[in-house]
C-alpha cells in the first residue's frame, strides 16, 4: 500500500481537534478516514459537513469503552494507523464530575489499546511493521511551571493537577506500557492549548467572543495571569498527521504554538479585535473590555504551561504557520461568519436532532 493511500482510524473525530484532523486528511491528503466518535455533547458532525460525503470518509458512532464494537470496526475497516483523540477534555467538568473522565480517558484507552493489539497481531508481517498507534495527549499532564523561562520538554516529569490531566496522564502511561510489554508500535504527542474554528463554546476563546457579541460578562478566573501556549488547531492537525505518518515508534513529540499569553491578555486581544470587526455593540456596552469580570479562581488552577516544540521541528520539520495574532483574527472572523454553527450548539439543537429529541 502506498504511503499516500493509508486508512486512518481517528477516534473522537467529531470533536474540536479531531474534526480538524479529519478535515485535513480528507482535504489535503489522499488517505481515507474512519471516524469513531460516541457523539457526546462535544461531538458535532456539523463540523465535518465539508467532508461528510467524501468517498474516503466513513463514520462509526461508537463508544471506545465498547470493546466488541471496537473489534468489529478493526475487522471491518482494517486501518493502517490509529490516531486516538477521543477524550473528555474540559477541566471544569472534570472537577464537577470526574467519573466520565476516568471511564473514557483511562478505560476507553485501555479498550482501544487491546482492540488494536489483537488486530495488529492478526496482520501479515508487512502490514504489522507499518502499523502505528498514535496517542494524542496534552501538556497538562506535566502540571505547571514555576519559573517564567522554563519549558515542558518530552522528558519533563508528570505532575497532573486536575482529574482531567490525571486521567490523560494515566492514558499516556498505558500507551507506553503497551509498547514496552507487548511491542504495540505507539507514539505519543502532548500539545498546548488549541484554539480556532469549530471550538466548543464553553472554552475560553469562543466563550469570550460569543459573550462579547451578546453583551454578556467575560468571566476571567482569579487575576487572569495564568499563562498558556496557544496553538492554532489547523497547525496542530498538520503536526499530528506528520507524527502519525513520519514519527518514530516509541517517541514522544511536544507540539506547541510558540505563543505564550496570559489569559487576561487573550481576553483583551479579543476585545480589541471585536472593536475593529464589530464596532456596533450590544445595547449598553461602551467598550467590549468593560464586560471583563474577575471571578473566583478554579480549584488547583495551574499557573503556567509552555511547550518546547523544538524536537518535532528538528526531527520532523514541523513548525506552526500561524502566529497568535493571525490565528486569533482568523478565529474571530470564523465565529462572525458562522453563526449558524455556534447558535445551534448554544441552543442545543445540534444535539437534539442527532438524538431524535425535541
Length of the chain, please? 358
Closest C-alpha among 188, 316, 185, 162 to residue 253 = 188
| Helices and strands (DSSP H and E) totals, the chain | 14, 12
* CA distance linking residue 157 with residue 61, whole number of Å: 36
Active site residue 198: no
Q: Classify 206 in phi/psi space as left (phi over 0), alpha (psi -120 to 50) or beta.
A: alpha
Active site residue 57: no
* CA distance linking residue 19 with residue 11, whole number of Å: 10
Q: Which one of the listed residues 57, 119, 142, 164 is annotated catalytic?
A: 164
- Output the CA torsion sign for 61, 163, 175, 67: negative
Please tell me what DSSP assigns to residue 196: S
The DSSP secondary structure of 81-100, one letter per residue, reads EEEE------HHHHHH-THH
Q: Which one of the listed residues 60, 63, 88, 139 is annotated catalytic?
A: 139
CB-based contacts of 318: which residues, under 8 Å, 6+ apart? 238, 239, 242, 255, 312
Count CA within 13 A, CB hemisphere, residue 223. 3
Closest C-alpha among 235, 225, 202 to residue 342 = 202
Count the helix, strand and coil residues of the chain and give each as a percent rounded to the nearest 5.
Answer: 45, 15, 35
CA dihedral in degrees (169, 172, 176, 179; nearest 10)?
150
Q: Which one of the listed residues 140, 229, 260, 302 is annotated catalytic?
A: 140
Closest C-alpha among 2, 3, 27, 1 to residue 245 = 3
Active site residue 27: no
Q: Which of the residues are catalytic?
A: 139-140, 164
Amino acid at each position: 500500500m502506498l504511503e499516500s493511500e493509508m486508512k486512518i482510524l481517528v477516534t473522537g473525530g467529531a470533536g474540536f481537534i479531531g474534526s480538524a484532523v479529519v478535515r485535513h486528511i480528507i482535504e489535503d491528503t489522499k488517505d481515507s478516514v474512519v471516524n469513531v466518535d460516541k457523539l457526546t455533547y462535544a461531538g458535532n458532525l456539523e463540523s465535518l459537513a465539508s467532508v461528510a460525503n467524501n468517498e474516503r470518509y466513513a463514520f462509526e458512532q461508537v463508544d471506545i469503552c465498547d470493546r466488541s464494537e471496537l473489534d468489529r470496526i478493526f475487522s471491518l475497516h482494517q486501518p493502517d494507523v490509529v490516531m486516538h483523540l477521543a477524550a473528555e477534555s474540559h477541566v471544569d467538568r472534570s472537577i464537577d464530575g470526574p467519573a466520565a473522565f476516568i471511564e473514557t480517558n483511562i478505560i476507553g484507552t485501555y479498550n482501544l489499546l487491546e482492540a488494536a493489539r489483537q488486530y495488529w497481531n492478526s496482520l501479515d508481517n508487512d502490514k504489522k511493521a507499518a502499523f502505528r498507534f498514535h496517542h494524542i495527549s496534552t501538556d497538562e499532564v506535566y502540571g505547571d511551571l514555576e519559573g517564567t523561562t522554563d519549558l515542558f520538554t518530552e522528558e519533563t516529569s508528570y505532575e497532573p493537577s486536575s482529574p482531567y490531566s490525571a486521567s490523560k496522564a494515566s492514558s499516556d502511561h498505558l500507551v507506553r506500557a503497551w509498547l514496552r510489554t507487548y511491542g504495540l508500535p505507539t507514539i505519543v504527542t502532548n500539545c498546548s492549548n488549541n484554539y480556532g474554528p469549530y471550538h466548543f463554546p464553553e472554552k475560553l476563546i469562543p466563550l469570550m467572543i460569543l459573550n462579547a457579541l451578546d453583551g454578556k460578562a467575560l468571566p476571567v478566573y482569579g487575576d487572569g495571569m495564568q499563562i498558556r501556549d496557544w496553538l492554532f488547531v489547523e497547525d496542530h492537525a498538520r503536526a499530528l498527521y506528520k507524527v502519525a505518518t513520519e514519527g518514530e515508534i516509541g517517541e514522544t513529540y511536544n507540539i506547541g504554538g510558540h505563543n505564550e499569553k496570559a489569559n487576561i491578555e487573550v481576553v483583551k486581544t479579543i476585545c480589541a479585535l471585536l472593536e475593529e470587526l464589530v464596532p456596533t455593540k450590544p445595547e449598553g456596552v461602551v467598550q467590549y473590555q468593560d464586560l471583563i469580570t474577575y471571578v473566583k479562581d478554579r480549584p488547583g488552577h495551574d499557573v503556567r504551561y509552555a511547550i518546547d516544540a523544538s524536537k518535532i521541528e528538528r526531527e520532523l520539520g514541523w513548525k506552526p504557520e500561524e502566529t497568535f495574532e493571525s490565528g486569533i483574527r482568523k478565529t474571530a472572523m470564523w465565529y462572525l461568519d458562522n453563526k449558524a454553527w455556534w447558535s445551534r450548539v448554544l441552543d442545543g439543537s445540534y444535539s437534539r436532532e442527532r438524538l431524535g429529541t425535541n
